Amino acid sequence: MRIQIIGFGVIGQGLARVLLRKEEELRQRYGLEVSVVSITDISGTAHAEEGLDLRKALSVARETGAIVNYPGAKEMSGVEAIEEIEAELVVEATPSNIKTGEPGLSHMLAGFKAGKHVVTSNKGPLALKYRQLVSEAERNNVEFRFEASVGGAMPVINLARETLSGDRITAIEGILNGTTNYILSRMTREGLSFEHVLREAQELGYAETDPTYDIEGIDTASKLVILANAIMGIDATFSDVKIRGITRITPEAIRLAKERGYVIKLIGEVKNSHLEVSPRLVPETHPLNVDGALNVAMLHCDVAGEVTVVGKGAGAIETQSAILSDIIAIWKKVKG
Amino acid sequence: MRIQIIGFGVIGQGLARVLLRKEEELRQRYGLEVSVVSITDISGTAHAEEGLDLRKALSVARETGAIVNYPGAKEMSGVEAIEEIEAELVVEATPSNIKTGEPGLSHMLAGFKAGKHVVTSNKGPLALKYRQLVSEAERNNVEFRFEASVGGAMPVINLARETLSGDRITAIEGILNGTTNYILSRMTREGLSFEHVLREAQELGYAETDPTYDIEGIDTASKLVILANAIMGIDATFSDVKIRGITRITPEAIRLAKERGYVIKLIGEVKNSHLEVSPRLVPETHPLNVDGALNVAMLHCDVAGEVTVVGKGAGAIETQSAILSDIIAIWKKVKG
């Protein structure tokens, strides 16, 4: 299977590392031989018909920060690479942009138009243009999978759509952002203020320099939109979500909750076509009470009752679990 | 798809109810029309080429307790029904027997021999003869699925094998028995003795009159064997499990654990080919700390890190989530 990687930051490089590590295993378990025929980043595109040397690509990226320094690479954009290079599948792994969805949106649409399957970790385009993307994929008769766009290594989309195939999902609640969960968990455990824990999290690199997306609930809302569309078939977009973040949570509120056997968590919920992100009281022994940077989603099912899945919300390697399983699912489907 | 139901107790009847409820939905979502051509219980077999009237079968079972009272039913055994009646798939839902695996074992083998796919909720045969069953199914080129045999509506087997297809599972820990978890949860919350809570659970019907299978860890061990085989490819059987139950857990032990931020849970673990069931200390905020009659399994994955799934461990309807998803998976595979 000939694959193009568009975006060669944390996620793209993580994929290259895991493909190197799993080469033999993928062949043995699934008869799948992955050949990465091109890698594109902002600097250009490395391309080799017979497959790139992933070790070399990783060392070029590490040492120079620009894939254009790979031998023979050109100043070719992602869209050009998708249009011009022969391949079956595009992995879109550029950074998420919740305002325009670009450049991911153009990459995905170019992929569909070129008759290529698309696997992505990029939630921006999905939170903005879910219907358009899915219908373009259908129109071009290609697969479009995006497990990695929500919850990193927490496999909630494929769990709901495939593993729980006999159930209709009637509501979803979850903690979909690891940074805010880390902040709230530390505030709970140590009685510290929001500002104090946020500053420490930024110093440790757990929170962005501009933490707005996380702490104001925007990241959670983007993921909630994807779940509402992909799992419940609700035609929602980012602007439909009612959002309140965690910036006004005080140690006192947390302490009062604790005395009554509750914790405060930033919960995204979709129920009766209503999408909301807000801090909520969760009973201490409830499955949604997970600690640290974990993500969790509780699916309300019409047969199974509640099914909850917990996993790491991010991570260069962990997220590859989702990308790999999407690639394997497409491989199984196309080989028949 | 022509289906035979063998065993018409809680699980078999639950399936009939859910098939009635989901008839239209299965047709629309999957193009799947299920026709139950025979139902067998200990009294005999009801059979209709064009499909049984499931409402009538349920009322016969409810009112007389014996399917032989269905119009035209015969004193035909499960094995005979499997051998003689035309169908594509057998749902084996007889009670679990951890000593001999019978009668489920014979039903499953008869199903494979007759070229029929088998879906089961019956853990006994799997805990005793996993390898034999899987290789017989393979030899006869039929599908064999058993999500319902472990954890009721907690979809751990298909999650590990299909949703997490890019991961190798290196260890599994879980709470696989709802009755013991209910007992331990109540002991923890209310400070009551094991004997007291067990007696109440029996009066409420949450625990069997002979609770040995549950409280001595035998049920957990059976399920652990299935997970070790199905998910990790370890060729283990019931006698390989080191087992300690919960009968000697005191309120004092639970109180001491609680003071240090831990709970005591009956954990089944498979790791480095070692299978063990024993009470363990679990940190209060750990994903394995789930309450009441819930089941939970934590999969240690080589890419995703830890992925945890929580669901209802039992229930006449809830368990159908697993059976239905197995039937749908087979349907998708055979229709191509």
Average pLDDT over residues B54-61: 98
Arithmetic mean of pLDDT over chain A: 96
> Which residues does B78 contact at the CB level (< 8 Å), separation at least 6?
B6, B7, B40, B45, B94, B103, B106, B107, B110
Give how far A321 is from chain B: nearest CA, Å. Answer: 5
Sort out which chain B residues have CB atoms less than 8 A from A22's CB and list them. Answer: 166, 303
Using alpha carbons only, how large is chain A's radius of gyration in Å? 20
Question: Could you give the C-alpha distances from A117 to A16, A96, A189, A262, in angstroms and in order?
Answer: 18, 19, 45, 45
Dihedral-angle region of residue B32 (phi above 0 means left; psi in -120 to 50 means alpha; beta otherwise): beta
- Mutation site for A-interface testing, chosen from B15, B34, B165, B169 by largest number of A Cβ within 10 Å: B165
* Nearest chain A Cα distance for residue B315, angstroms: 9
Which CATH superfamily includes the segment(s) A2-153+316-335?
NAD(P)-binding Rossmann-like Domain (3.40.50.720)
How confident is the model over A174-207, as pLDDT tens digits?
Answer: 999 999 999 999 999 999 999 999 999 898 887 8
**Nearest-neighbour CA in chain A from B66: distance (Å):** 26
Q: What percent of chain A has a predicted confidence (pLDDT) above 70? A: 100
Residue of chain B with shortest Cα separation from A154: B307
pLDDT of residue A44: 98
For residue B37, pLDDT beyond 90: yes
What's the gap in Å between the CA of A332 and the closest CA on chain B? Answer: 11
A223 in catalytic set: yes
What residues of B are labeled active site? 223
Q: Give the per-residue pLDDT at A208.
A: 78
Q: Is the pLDDT of residue A154 over 80?
A: yes
Is it true that the peptide bond before A103 is cis, omega within 30 degrees of 0? yes
Over residues A92-139, the pLDDT tens digits come to 999 999 999 999 999 999 999 999 999 999 999 999 999 999 999 999
Contacts of B162 in chain A (CB under 8 A): 162-163
Instruction: Say which of A287, A327, A328 has its CB closest to residue B290.
Output: A287
The secondary structure of A239-301, three-state, reads: HHCEECCCCCCCHHHHHHHHHCCEEEEEEEEEECCEEEEEEEEEECCCCCCCCCCEEEEEEEE
Nearest by CB: A307 against B25, B155, B167? B155
B162: DSSP letter: I
In CATH, what number does B161-312 get? 3.30.360.10
Q: Residue A24: its pLDDT value, please?
A: 97
Residue B61 CA to residue B47 CA, distance in Å, equals 14
Contact list in B for residue A294 (CB cut-off 8 A) is: 287
* Residue B209 scores a pLDDT above 90: no
Cβ-Cβ contacts under 8 Å between A and B: the total is: 152
Amino acid B74: pLDDT: 97
The arithmetic mean of pLDDT across residues A6-28, rounded, is 97
Nearest to A285 among B153, B291, B305 (CB): B291
Determine, for residues A309 and B312 on separate chains, whether the beta-carbon distance falls below 8 Å.
Answer: no
Task: Inform me whether the pLDDT recorded for A292 exceeds 90.
Answer: no
Q: Could you give the angle at the alpha carbon of A148 between the alpha carbons of A144 and A150, nearest 5°?
A: 105
Best mutation target among B164, B182, B265, B286 (most A Cβ atoms within 10 Å) is: B164
Note the pLDDT tens digit of each residue in A36-65: 999 999 999 999 999 999 999 999 999 999
User: In this complex, do A321 and B304 lie within 8 Å of one another by their Cβ atoms?
Assistant: yes
B309 vs chain A: nearest CA distance in angstroms? Answer: 4
Question: In angstroms, what CA-CA distances link B185 with A282, B254, B260?
Answer: 18, 10, 17
Place of tokens 């499960």: B78
Beta-bridge partner residues of A265? A280
For the segment A202-250, what is each residue's pLDDT rounded down to a tens digit? 988 878 788 999 999 999 999 999 999 999 999 999 999 999 999 999 9
- What is the per-residue pLDDT for B336? 76
In the 8-state DSSP scheme, what is residue A147?
Answer: G
Mutate one of A17, A285, A296, A328 to test the B interface: name it (highest B CB count within 10 A): A285
Residue range A147-165: average pLDDT?
96
Which chain A residue lies closest to B291 (C-alpha atoms)? Answer: A285
**Three-state secondary structure of A181-211:** HHHHHHHHHHCCCHHHHHHHHHHCCCCCCCC
What are B83-122's pLDDT values in tens digits? 999 999 999 999 999 999 999 999 999 999 999 999 999 9
Backbone dihedral angles phi then psi of residue A276, each to the nearest 5 degrees: -145, 140
* Set of chain B residues whose Cβ sits within 8 Å of the Cβ of A312: 304-306
Can you give the length of chain A in residues?
A: 336
Contact assignment for A311 to B320 by CB distance below 8 Å: no
Mean pLDDT, residues B63-87 taken together? 98
Residues of B in contact with A311 (CB under 8 A): 304-308
Nearest to B307 among A30, A153, A327 (CB): A153
Tokens representing B6 are 């063998």
- Domain map (residue ranges) of chain A: 2-153+316-335, 161-312
Rounded to whole angstroms, what are the CA distances from B6 to A18, A307, B43, B76? 45, 27, 11, 11
For the cut 80, the answer to whether the pLDDT of residue B78 exceeds it is yes
User: pTM value?
Assistant: 0.96
- In chain A, the residue whose alpha carbon lies closest to the alpha carbon of B335 is A336
What share of chain A has pLDDT > 90, as a percent?
94
Distances (CA, A) of A79 to A39, A68, A85, B16: 12, 16, 10, 52
Residue of B nearest to A321 (CA): B304
Between A163, A185, A318, which is nearest B303 by CB?
Answer: A318
B165 and A324 in contact by Cβ < 8 A? Answer: yes
Inter-chain CB proximity B287 and A309 less than 8 Å: no
Q: How far is B323 from chain A (nearest CA, A)?
A: 8
Best CA proximity match to B302, nearest among B157, B176, B160: B160
pLDDT at A205: 81
- Does A320 contact B164 at a Cβ distance shorter than 8 Å? no
Mean pLDDT of chain B: 96
Residue pLDDT, tens place only, B309-333: 999 988 899 999 999 999 999 999 9
Selected catalytic residue, list A116, A123, A129, A223: A223
Chain A nearest-CA residue for B309: A309
Element (H, E) at A137: helix A123-139
Please name the member of B159, B285, B318 whose beta carbon is closest to the beta carbon of A304. B318
Q: How far is CA A222 from CA A128, A169, A276, in A?
A: 8, 19, 11
For residue A68, pLDDT beyond 80:
yes
pLDDT at A336 over 80: no
